Structures are given as structure tokens and as C-alpha cells.
């Protein structure tokens, strides 16, 4: 165990004060923000919009990738719900209806959207037609890697891994590894961790 020097003590106190100040500032600016206990912000966290944002206990928002974790709700009816013990590193989440993340998840600088933002057909855009959002659901113990995108209406099963730059347009099974654009299942974690005789 490292010796507690005056410099280490100073840094620890400074980090605690900064963390409490950041949480207080977020809470004061976002009327519909619900925070659990033990939340740590070592990077940048931005929360924007009139919707409800719920962050569970012991979540961490780091800045190792150099980006800002951004949580956006587009209307008072929209919501982002994050379970306990999740870690974020520059993640971008946009909710027009609902984005739900389970517990113990790891999310790098990935993108989660529950809407297309606008319709593809310019004629419909000029007529003022709005896209229909569909909720996004991320299970427990999910790992979403850097630059991956999870699109509207997708459900990612417990323990799944979404690979680097994967574009997920369909549901991901439990404990599956998906990569590519569009994302496809390439392996199951049960196969990796099964006894050698059970692997075919």
C-alpha cells in the first residue's frame, strides 16, 4: 500500500472537493436529474435537455479517451436511465423516448440513439414529418467498444460485447460478440469460456 504523503493527501482532498462540486453543479442545472451515491467524475460530463436522467450508484465518468460523456434528452417525456456501477468514457447518448442501460456496463466513446433525428425523404422533411423514436435497451454487464453505434429500437442482451466501430441495427443476443456494419454475431462468450471438449 503506497505511503500517504502530504501531496497524496492534498490530491485526494482536491479530487473529492472537485467531484462534489461537479455533481452539485449538474444537479443545480438539471431539475430532472436523479443521482445515486458514490458517483465519480474524473473526466467531463454534460447533461442537456428537459427530460429525466437517472444515474445509479457508483457510476464513473472518466476522460481517458479525451472526450466528453454527453447525455441528451430532446423532450420532457424523454428519459435516460443508467444502472449502478457503469463506466463511461466519452459516450454520446441521445434520447427522444427512452434509453435504458443496465448495471455493470462499460461504454467507451460510442453512440446510442433512439431516433433518426429526421426522416430521410426530403419531401417528408419539407412537410414537417418527424421520425418515430423507438427505445434502446442495454442489458447488464454489456461492453460497448470505441466508435460503435447502437441505433433506435435495438435491445442488447446481458453480457454482450459490441466491437469497435460496429453499427448495431438489430437486437444482440445474450453473451454474443458482434462486429461490423451492419453488426453480425461472430462468437458467443459461452463458446470462448466452455471446456475444450465442448467447443466445436
d(CA 169, CA 172): 9
For 132, how many CA atoms within 13 A lie in the half-sphere containing its CB?
1
Is 118 considered catalytic here?
A: yes
Judge contact between 99 and 114, C-beta under 8 A. yes
Cα separation of the two ends of the chain: 45
Judge contact between 33 and 27, C-beta under 8 A. yes
∠ CA 38-101-152 to the nearest 5 degrees?
150
d(CA 58, CA 50): 24
Residues with catalytic function: 118
Amino acid at each position: 500500500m503506497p505511503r500517504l504523503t502530504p501531496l497524496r493527501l492534498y490530491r485526494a482532498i482536491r479530487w473529492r472537493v472537485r467531484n462534489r462540486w461537479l455533481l452539485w453543479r449538474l444537479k443545480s442545472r438539471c431539475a430532472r436529474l436523479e443521482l445515486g451515491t458514490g458517483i465519480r467524475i474524473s473526466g467531463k460530463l454534460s447533461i442537456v435537455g428537459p427530460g429525466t436522467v437517472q444515474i445509479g450508484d457508483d457510476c464513473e465518468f472518466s476522460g481517458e479517451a479525451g472526450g466528453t460523456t454527453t447525455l441528451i434528452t430532446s423532450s420532457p417525456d424523454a428519459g435516460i436511465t443508467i444502472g449502478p456501477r457503469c463506466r463511461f468514457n466519452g459516450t454520446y447518448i441521445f434520447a427522444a423516448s427512452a434509453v435504458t442501460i443496465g448495471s455493470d456496463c462499460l461504454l467507451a466513446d460510442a453512440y446510442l440513439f433512439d431516433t433518426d433525428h429526421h426522416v430521410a425523404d426530403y419531401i417528408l422533411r419539407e412537410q414537417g414529418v418527424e421520425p418515430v423514436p423507438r427505445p434502446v435497451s442495454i442489458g447488464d454487464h454489456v461492453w460497448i467498444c470505441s466508435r460503435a453505434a447502437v441505433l433506435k429500437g435495438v435491445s442488447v442482451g446481458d453480457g454482450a460485447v459490441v466491437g469497435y466501430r460496429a453499427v448495431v441495427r438489430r437486437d444482440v443476443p445474450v453473451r454474443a460478440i458482434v462486429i461490423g456494419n451492419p453488426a453480425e454475431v461472430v462468437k458467443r462468450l459461452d463458446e470462448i469460456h466452455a471446456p475444450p471438449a465442448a467447443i466445436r
